[in-house]
């Protein structure tokens, strides 16, 4: 059988400037949030993150991200009621999570749990604006329930049912620890959830949008986002940063650690950022919490070791624009509250689900499939060599 043949001369690509890691690439227009990396600003829908951290709540911030405005009391009450109504997850999801080996990283378990939620949702493949919006509400509520159940099961404990009388963050902590959080824990963790809710066109957000742009479905998009967030160069850095802190005895040890990393060109987890070349504003808020909370919980040494690392890294790399990022201090706060390090990145996902859904929905309104290209630099004009001639 004769095969089609190329006629004429193949046109090879000319060299173009590549933004490695898509540096400089603009995916779309957005009204959701903005990061000014030079000034160290983070803005959600026009509001500076410090304003929101001081005055808002996770539910209100989520409403803001989704709807583009602060809610009235009635709107907020209705929104919160909707989230509460979706908190419970099907028994099949818990049964599936029971089968996940205890050695599995909780982020992989979270992918499994959210994937199973999608399998059980008859509306998963409708892919209309209405269905995707409703699924977003479900996912914002249920990410917390799935993460809570994973945290319990990996410790050999039974999952705790959601408590409809608790606010979103308090309920998540209750489902994780089995105890209602005190006022300090609820407040600090709620602010941490606000700080993590959205952050420009970060890797996991882009992943969710990229998957959804094929008109796949919201669950698949969010499973992809969880997979991206899991990586140590992204959300997984919080767990890694704490692991380092726990190995260091004191501030002298911290200095030795940083000098060793510099000498051996090793990256220091919780520092540096693709966009921020100034101090990450989220790390400013979390650094202050770290100081207060670790002191109150008798773990002040953790903060002092972390602060020494920060001082040493800024002295060495500050001019290069390397400062602590959101993942550096968050782990000290969570650890001081008694949360297991493996559950730090799932906490991030419980919060970031708001930004993921808001941005997927925004892009979906005027969807076009994402499809970048790569610069081909491989061999050219080869002629096929039969097996016996190679």
Q: Rounded distance, CA 24 to CA 27, Å?
A: 10
326 lines the binding site for ligand ACO (CB under 6 A): yes
Q: Which residue stretch of 7-15, 61-69, 187-195, 323-331 sits at the interface with ligand ACO (rule: CB under 6 A)?
A: 323-331
Using the rule CB under 6 A, which residue among 151, 224, 235, 355 binds ligand ACO?
A: 235
325 lines the binding site for ligand ACO (CB under 6 A): yes
Instruction: Decide: residue 28, CB within 10 A, 0-12 exposed, 13-18 middle, 19+ buried.
Output: middle
**For ligand ACO, how many residues bind (rule: CB under 6 A)?**
19
Per-residue tokens: 264? 């051996």
323 lines the binding site for ligand ACO (CB under 6 A): no
Instruction: Decide: residue 163, CB within 10 A, 0-12 exposed, 13-18 middle, 19+ buried.
Output: middle
Compute the residue count for the chain. Answer: 390
Q: Which is nearer to ligand ACO, 235 or 331 (CB)?
A: 235
Q: Which residue stretch of 121-129, 134-142, 243-251, 315-323 sits at the interface with ligand ACO (rule: CB under 6 A)?
A: 315-323
Q: Which residue stretch of 64-72, 231-239, 249-257, 364-372 sits at the interface with ligand ACO (rule: CB under 6 A)?
A: 231-239
274 lines the binding site for ligand ACO (CB under 6 A): yes
Q: Is 234 a catalytic residue?
A: yes
Q: Which is nearer to ligand ACO, 142 or 228 (CB)?
A: 228
Q: Is 327 a catalytic residue?
A: yes
Catalytic residue among 234, 250, 260, 301: 234
The set of residues, in sequence order, having a beta carbon less than 8 Å from that of 134 and lying 6+ positions away, is 123
Catalytic residue among 121, 198, 280, 327: 327
271 lines the binding site for ligand ACO (CB under 6 A): yes
What angle is formed at CA 245 by the lines to CA 35 and CA 319, rounded to 5 degrees?
45
Per-residue tokens: 253? 């040890």
Residue 200 has, within 13 A of its CA and on its CB side, a CA count of 16
21 lines the binding site for ligand ACO (CB under 6 A): yes
CB of 263 to ligand ACO, least distance (A): 12
277 lines the binding site for ligand ACO (CB under 6 A): no
The whole-angstrom distance between residue 179's C-alpha and the CA centroid of its chain comes to 25
Q: How many CB atoms lie within 10 A of CB 65?
A: 23
CB of 380 to ligand ACO, least distance (A): 30
Nearest to ligand ACO by Cβ — which residue?
A: 272
Using the rule CB under 6 A, which residue among 168, 273, 284, 308 binds ligand ACO?
A: 273
Q: Rounded distance, CA 209 to CA 145, Å?
A: 23
Query: Long-range contacts of range 119-123, CB-CB < 8 Å, 24 or more positions apart?
Result: 120/90, 120/92, 120/93, 121/219
272 lines the binding site for ligand ACO (CB under 6 A): yes
- Residue with the two structure tokens 């407040």: 187
CB of 358 to ligand ACO, least distance (A): 17
Q: What is the dihedral of CA 19, 359, 33, 189, to 10 degrees?
A: -110
Q: Rounded distance, CA 357 to CA 274, Å?
A: 22
352 lines the binding site for ligand ACO (CB under 6 A): no
Q: Which is nearer to ligand ACO, 153 or 242 (CB)?
A: 242
Per-residue tokens: 327? 């993942």
CB of 204 to ligand ACO, least distance (A): 8
Q: Rounded distance, CA 285 to CA 281, Å?
A: 7
CB of 84 to ligand ACO, least distance (A): 28
Q: Which is nearer to ligand ACO, 5 or 20 (CB)?
A: 20
Q: Rounded distance, CA 280 to CA 374, Å?
A: 31
Q: Which residues are catalytic?
A: 234, 273, 327
Residues that bind ligand ACO (CB under 6 A): 21, 233-235, 237, 267-274, 317, 320, 322, 325-327
């Amino acid at each position: 059988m004769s095969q089609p043949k190329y006629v004429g001369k193949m046109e090879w690509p000319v060299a173009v400037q590549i933004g490695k890691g898509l540096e400089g690439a603009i995916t779309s227009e957005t009204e959701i949030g903005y990061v000014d990396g030079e000034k160290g600003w983070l803005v959600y829908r026009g509001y500076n993150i410090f304003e929101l951290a001081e005055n808002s709540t996770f539910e209100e911030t989520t409403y803001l991200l989704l709807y583009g405005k602060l809610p009235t009391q009635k709107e907020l009450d209705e929104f919160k009621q909707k989230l509460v109504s979706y908190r419970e997850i099907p028994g099949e999801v818990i049964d599936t999570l029971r089968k996940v080996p205890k050695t599995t990283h909780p982020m992989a378990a979270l992918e499994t749990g959210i994937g199973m939620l999608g399998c059980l949702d008859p509306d998963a493949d409708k892919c209309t604006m209405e269905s995707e919006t409703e699924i977003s509400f479900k996912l914002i509520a249920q990410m917390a329930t799935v993460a809570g159940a994973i945290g319990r099961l990996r410790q050999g404990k039974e999952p705790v049912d959601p408590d409809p009388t608790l606010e979103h963050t308090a309920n998540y902590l209750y489902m994780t620890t089995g105890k209602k959080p005190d006022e300090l824990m609820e407040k600090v963790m709620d602010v941490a959830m606000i700080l993590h809710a959205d952050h420009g066109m970060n890797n996991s957000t882009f992943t969710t949008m990229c998957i959804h742009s094929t008109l796949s479905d919201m669950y698949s998009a969010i499973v992809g986002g969880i997979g991206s967030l899991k990586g140590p160069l992204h959300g997984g850095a919080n767990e890694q940063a704490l692991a380092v802190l726990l190995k260091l005895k004191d501030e002298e040890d911290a200095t030795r650690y940083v000098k060793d990393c510099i000498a051996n060109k090793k990256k220091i987890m919780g520092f540096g950022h693709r966009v921020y070349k100034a101090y990450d504003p989220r790390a400013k808020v979390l650094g202050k919490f770290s100081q207060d909370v670790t002191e109150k919980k008798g773990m002040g040494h953790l903060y002092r070791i972390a602060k020494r690392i920060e001082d040493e890294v800024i002295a060495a790399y500050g001019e290069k624009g390397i400062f602590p990022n959101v993942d550096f201090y968050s782990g000290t706060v969570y650890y001081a509250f008694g949360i297991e390090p493996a559950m730090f990145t799932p906490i991030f996902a419980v919060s970031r689900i708001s930004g993921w859904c808001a941005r997927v929905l925004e892009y979906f309104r005027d969807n076009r499939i994402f499809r970048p290209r790569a610069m081909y630099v491989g061999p050219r004009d080869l002629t096929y060599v039969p097996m016996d001639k190679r």
